[in-house]
Amino acid sequence: MRHAVCVVLFLLTLLQAPVVAQEQVTLTIGQAIDFALTHNPGIAQSEKELSKARAGVGEAFSILLPHIEGYASLQHMWQIQTSRIPNFLKPMLAPLGPVLPGIDQMPDFVDLAFGLENTLRYGATLTQPLFLGGAGLAAVSIAKATRNAAEQNFQARKQQLIFETALAFYSCLLAEDLLGVQENALTQARANLDVVNKRYGVGTASPFDRMRAEVEVANLEPEVITARNNHKVALTQMRRVLGLGDYAEFIPEGAFRYVEDTFDQAALRSLQELALAGRPEMSMVDEQKKISQGGVVVTRSNFLPKVVFQTDYSFLAMRDDLRFQSGDFSKGFSSAISMQFPLFSGFASLRQHEKAQLDLRMMLDVRKQVADAILAEVEVSFNKFREGREKYHSARRTVDLATEALRLASLLYEEGANTQLDVLNSHLSLTRARLNYANILFEYEVARYQLRKATGTLTGALEGKKETP
């Protein structure tokens, strides 16, 4: 019995334990972009790739710098080899043959063993390339171009992340507005149903009017559920872009406003020229062209001689045992300049040089393709931006007119001057107008950011001249 009471008390303690609430992060569009640039995993990966490219420059410089290597070796001869040499003593002692008998019996050749059982050698070697056929300088040039290309790729990734963040942020605002429109439409439909029920109760509304009002409420309820789920999906997508994960809840701070952009009066050609000068992709292609040019120099160096300077400083000692002492060592110091001439490589060097030249020509074609793609992107974005601006100016009065039309239709219906169908049509028109207005503002903002991204000036999208509610 006592054990059961303890279990119950433990369960009650768990139920009464405080629940850790999910952290809420409220950000404006500018704060959201700054947060994403700091916490997004993709941008962090791009930063690491840029650091690797910068390290590659130092690695390339090492080809031109001297290399110093130390070494040490201990060699034991299990059996010392012998060398057969002429017996120099026999001809030297031959004149003494009458005095020293047996000289003529001496062998003509003798076997001698050179060296001792144990040899200890240590020292250092310095190697300095003097001429590599231009390959060393080309490697440094390639590494610098690779670093510059990585920097431009990082800038392009930042531009893309800013656009993705803005798109996700405004998607949250759009989903929130659409949810509000649908909830407001459902509230108005229920209010209309209450009016119809009252009139039905006093006999001034037909059963068909009542049924039609009930159907309108029933049709709007699933749409509200869908809008609510779409709002959750938009918030989830925003958390992913920001790098928040599941531990925090994002709350967008802001509302749709029409922002007049400085590009309103810009000409298409000037925007295209701005894009060609400022887009990171164009700079990336130019750096890749330098990489291809460096590749041509590297392959051309395979046909040229290589000159290397090398010097060695070492100590050598030999003993039959391992009791080496300082007096056993002799010093050696030597220097040499070596030159290598490529004579024949099976035509591999020639083919490699041809491939490098083809890569360079291909990069020229790639540059033209990228430029054409940027020009087309700017033109499409510019037309979309103008379309969004014109649609806003034509639709900004629609919501006010639809709201007034619904007010009049409801008032006339209460007075018996029109039908329930007129009220429902006014409800539908107002809902459509609000949905259309929210979508138009969303399309305009996305088009504005897209045009800024296409011209390489995406940060300017946050600097609107004037806001119109």
pLDDT digit string, tens, across residues 2-40:
444 443 343 444 334 333 445 677 888 888 888 888 888
- At 383, list the tokens: 């037309």
What contacts 436, CB < 8 A, 6 or more positions away?
395, 398
- 344, with CB counted inside 10 A (0-12, 13-18, 19+), is exposed
AA identity, residue 117: E
Q: What is the pLDDT of residues 333-348, one digit of tens each?
A: 999 999 988 888 788 8
Place of tokens 């399309």: 443
pLDDT reported for residue 408:
79
User: Cα(293)–Cα(98) distance, rounded to whole angstroms?
Assistant: 84
Q: How many CB atoms lie within 10 A of CB 274?
A: 17
pLDDT reported for residue 124:
97
In 3-state terms, what secondary structure has residue 334?
A: strand
User: Cα(369)–Cα(377) distance, rounded to whole angstroms?
Assistant: 12
Strands 248-252 and 23-27, bridge-based pairing: parallel
Q: What is the average per-residue pLDDT within 357-377?
A: 90
Place of tokens 């139920």: 15
User: Cα(335)–Cα(310) distance, rounded to whole angstroms?
Assistant: 6
pLDDT reported for residue 369:
92
pTM exceeding 0.75: no
User: Cα(168)–Cα(83) distance, rounded to whole angstroms?
Assistant: 85
pLDDT above 90 as % of the chain: 19
Q: Which domains does the chain have, with CATH numbers?
A: 22-63+134-304+348-468 (1.20.1600.10), 69-89+107-131+305-341 (2.20.200)
